Chains A and B, each alone.
Chain A
Amino acid sequence: AQKVTQAQTEISVVEKEDVTLDCVYETRDTTYYLFWYKQPPSGELVFLIRRNSFDEQNEISGRYSWNFQKSTSSFNFTITASQVVDSAVYFCALSEADRGYQLIWGAGTKLIIKP
């Protein structure tokens, strides 16, 4: 069965600390895609990254980095030197070609960055 698990319901750190948001997924497909979205209080979803199953390279974008490990079915997201503006709910999601790219969502992790 397809599933995305974000075990951390809420994380609270002080500004400038590094923080890692965990994401573990389950799928039987060999072709799949993993995503991270940010949802600030306004509610609008902000796309952060998309990674396909054939590309295990880690990615860095400014203060954001992602660690994709197929061996552990994980796609973790790290924010370096966190800022108050990073406070939001972050969702990890999975889509599969065989399911018409329909997104399967994790429960989300609420990240609170304290000044």
Chain B
Amino acid sequence: GAVVSQHPSWVICKSGTSVKIECRSLDFQATTMFWYRQFPKQSLMLMATSNEGSKATYEQGVEKDKFLINHASLTLSTLTVTSAHPEDSSFYICSDAGGADTEAFFGQGTRLTVV
């Protein structure tokens, strides 16, 4: 079945640095990818919708200049957390959009810790 591969699985970075998270669709083309953020003991919160070849659509309250999303090809979407702070520490998950005939496929998730 379809697979979405997300890397890295976990990352620790220093405050003020940037971190890039990659989400690849391995055996299908994804024109749309979703990026979620999940705090401990909470549900998934949609951050933005990544569209191939165009600008991402951000949910209310999500800073687009801090969470840079690039979807340059049909198989790769990236989320870059710029100038990371400890409060950005969270679990980030990507998925494709799914559709009428299939469920969405999720990446393995990235646990980001900013120290």
Other-chain residue from B46, B102, B106 in contact with A102 (beta carbon distance below 8 A): B46
A103 and B104 form a contact (CB under 8 A): yes
A43 and B104 form a contact (CB under 8 A): no
Chain B's closest residue to A95 (CB) is B98
Q: Is B108 an interface residue (CB 8 A)?
A: yes
Q: Mark B98-115, 1 if CB is under 8 A from A, else 0.
A: 111011111011010000
Other-chain residue from A44, A47, A100, A105 in contact with B43 (beta carbon distance below 8 A): A105
Which residues of chain B in 2-40 are interfacial with respect to chain A, using CB atoms and an 8 Å cutoff?
32, 34, 38
Q: Is B44 an interface residue (CB 8 A)?
A: yes
Given A43-B108, A91-B43, 13 further pairs, Cβ under 8 A = A43-B91, A44-B108, A47-B105, A97-B100, A101-B97, A101-B98, A102-B46, A102-B97, A103-B44, A105-B44, A107-B42, A108-B43, A110-B41
Task: Provide 14 A-B residue pairs closer than 8 Å at the C-beta atoms, listed in order of the A residue.
Answer: A43-B93, A43-B108, A43-B109, A45-B93, A47-B105, A50-B103, A101-B98, A101-B100, A102-B34, A102-B46, A102-B49, A103-B46, A103-B104, A108-B42
Chain A residues proximal to chain B, CB less than 8 Å: 33, 35, 43-45, 47, 50, 91, 95, 97, 100-103, 105-108, 110
